[in-house]
Amino acid sequence: MKLIFERSVPGRSTTIFPECDVPETTLPESFLRAEKPDLPEVSETDLSRHYQELSKQVYGVCDGFYPLGSCTMKYNPSVNEEAAALPGFAGLHPLQPVETAQGALRVLRLSEQYLCELTGMDEMTFEPAAGAHGEFTGLLLIKKYHELRGDAARTKILVPDSAHGTNPASATMAGFEVVNIPSAPDGGVDLTALAEAAGPDTAGLMLTNPNTLGIFDRNILEITRIVHEAGGLCYYDGANLNAVVGNARPGDMGFDVVHLNMHKTFSTPHGGGGPGAGAVGAKGDMAKYLPGEHVVEKADGTLAFEKKEQSIGRIRSYYGNFLVQVKALAYILMLGGDGLRDASQNAVLNANYLRVLLAPYCKVAAEGICMHEFVLDLAEIKERTGISAMDIAKSMLDHGMHAPTMYFPLIVHEALMFEPTETESKETLDEAAAIIIELLKMADTDPEALHSAPCHTPISRPDEVKAARTPVLTWKRA
C-alpha cells in the first residue's frame, strides 16, 4: 500500500480552520524553523482511505480466532469502552482538585478492593503502565523491604527457566542478579534445585502459576515455604491469572507481591485500542512501600489521595493508565464474582478441549490436564518432515487465524503455545482444530505448501534476518 507521504500533494489540506479570533503575533526569529517540515499534505478523503487501508492490514480479536499463548487475547467487551468514554472520566485532568474527581477516585478505590479480594493482597497501586513495569515495581518493593531491615546481602532473584523473559529483565533492571531455576520433568519448579539455590543471598522468587507450559504447580505451597524460610519474598507474575481468577488466590499460595495485567485477565485492549495497565498488589508490610498516591476513605465518606511515608516513590506520572482501569472495573462489575470464576473455568475448559483435539496429531509438551494454555512440541515433526513450528504458524494465517505464540517457552525447542481463552465458542474451537490438524497432516503429505505459506496475507514471509540486522525504520523521499 501507499504510505501517507506518498499520497501527499503540496498545498493540499484536510482542515478548514475557523476565522482567527485572537490577535496575530509573530514568534522571535530564533524559534522559527529554517525549512518547512516534511509532513504529508492530504485531503480528508485521502486520509480516511489511508487509515481504512491500514486497518485492513491488521488482524485483531474481532477478526477471528487469536490463540496467542500467554497473551490472553480475549474479547474486549464494548461496555468497557462505553464506561471509559463517559465524559466524567474521559474529560478529567489529572491535576484537577480531588473534590471534583471523586468518581475517579472511587474507581481506583473499588478496583483496589475487588482486585485485593481476588488476589489475596492487602493494598494495590495502579501506577504501573503494563506488566513488566509492574514486575519492576514489585521488585523495588522487595528491595526496599530488605534494605529497611538492613539486610544488604540479598542480591539475588530466583527465576524458573520457564519464566517469561520479562522476569529476568525486570530483576536485572531493579539491580538484582538472576539465578535460573530448572524445571522438573513434570514442568513445575525443581524443588531440590530451588532448595539448593535459596539462601541468605536470596531476595526473592518470581513465579507465574500456572506456568508458561500451562501447568499449575501443585507444589506451590512448598515452593513459597522454601523461599520464605530462606528469608526471601515471593513475587507472583499475574500474566497467567486468567486461568485461576475467582478460583485461587496468589495471596493464599504464599505470594507477597503480585502484578496483574488488565489487558489480559481483565479484558482491556492490547495496544491499538489503548495502553496496558499493570496494577501491583502487596501484602502486609510490603504494602507500606507501594508507589505514588494511594486512595483512602475519610471519616466523612469522601476520598482523598495519600502518599505513603515509606513509599518507593513514583514510578509513573499521575495515576497510571486510568481509563484502562475504568475498563477493567467495568469488566469486573459486569461479570461479578461468580462470572469471573466461570470465565476462568471456561478458559481452562477451552484450552483442554483444544489440547485433546490436537494431541493425537502432535506431541504436547507437558502431559496431563493443562490450565488456560498448552504447548505443542513439534520437534519430532520437524526432525521427520522438516516442517517447523514457524511453518505451521505461518500456514494458520492463510486460514484466517492468528498464529499461536512461537518458540516460547524456550525449554521447548519447536514450541507452539495455544491459549484460546474463554470467549471462543465450541464451534470456533472445532473449526480451528480441524484446520490445524489438516496442516499437521500436510507436514507429511505436502511440506512444500507449508514452507511457502502464507499466500493470502498482505505480507508473505518477511526476511527476518534482514529485518533484525538492517531494519529500515524511517521513510525517505526517493
Partner 1 sequence: MTFPKNLKYTETHEWVEEIGDGRVRVGITDYAQDQLGDLVYVTMPEEGDEVTEGQSFAEVESVKAVSEVNSPVTGTIAVVNEELAETPEAINDTPYEAWFVELSDVEMPDNLMDADEYQDFVEAEA
Q: What is the contact surface with partner 1 in residues (CB under 8 A)?
A: 379, 383, 406-408, 410, 413, 464-465, 468-469
Q: How far is the CB of 408 from partner 1 (least distance, A)?
A: 8
Q: Which is nearer to partner 1, 335 or 393 (CB)?
A: 393
Which residue in the block uniquely carries the three cell numbers 504494602? 287
Q: What are phi and psi of 15, to 5 degrees?
A: -105, 135
Region of 214 (left: φ > 0; alpha: ψ -120 to 50; beta: rest) is left
Q: Which is nearer to partner 1, 332 or 396 (CB)?
A: 396
- Rounded Cα distance between 180 and 338, Å, is 38
Q: What are phi and psi of 327, to 5 degrees?
A: -65, -45
Q: How far is the CB of 465 from partner 1 (least distance, A)?
A: 5
Q: How do strand 257-259 and strand 233-237 relate by DSSP bridges?
A: parallel
* Enclosing H/E stretch for 137: helix 131-148
Q: How far is the CB of 237 from partner 1 (least distance, A)?
A: 19
User: Is the CB of residue 381 less than 8 Å from the CB of residue 362?
Assistant: yes
- Rounded Cα distance between 183 and 158, Å, is 12
Q: Which is nearer to partner 1, 208 or 350 (CB)?
A: 208
- Rounded Cα distance between 223 and 217, Å, is 9
Nearest to 131 by CA among 72, 189, 177, 219: 72
Q: Which is nearer to partner 1, 136 or 408 (CB)?
A: 408
Nearest to 366 by CA among 402, 435, 403, 415: 415
Q: Which is nearer to partner 1, 85 or 410 (CB)?
A: 410
Q: How far is the CB of 165 from partner 1 (least distance, A)?
A: 8
DSSP 29: G
Q: How far is the CB of 394 from partner 1 (least distance, A)?
A: 13
Q: In the Cβ-directed half-sphere of 109, how many Cα atoms lie within 13 Å?
A: 16
**196, burial (CB in 10 Å: exposed 0-12, middle 13-18, buried 19+):** exposed
DSSP-H helix ranges across 205-284: 220-229, 250-253
Q: Which is nearer to partner 1, 309 or 464 (CB)?
A: 464
Q: How far is the CB of 349 from partner 1 (least distance, A)?
A: 31
**Is residue 367 helix, strand or coil?**
coil
- Rounded Cα distance between 9 and 292, Å, is 48
**Count of other CB atoms within 10 angstroms of residue 34:** 4
Q: How far is the CB of 374 from partner 1 (least distance, A)?
A: 20
Q: Which is nearer to partner 1, 305 or 407 (CB)?
A: 407
Q: How far is the CB of 85 from partner 1 (least distance, A)?
A: 40
Q: What are phi and psi of 207, to 5 degrees?
A: -145, 140
Which residues are 417's β-sheet partners? 375, 405
Q: Which is nearer to partner 1, 297 or 383 (CB)?
A: 383
Q: Which is nearer to partner 1, 146 or 382 (CB)?
A: 382
Q: How far is the CB of 399 from partner 1 (least distance, A)?
A: 23
Q: How far is the CB of 60 from partner 1 (least distance, A)?
A: 24
Q: Which is nearer to partner 1, 349 or 411 (CB)?
A: 411
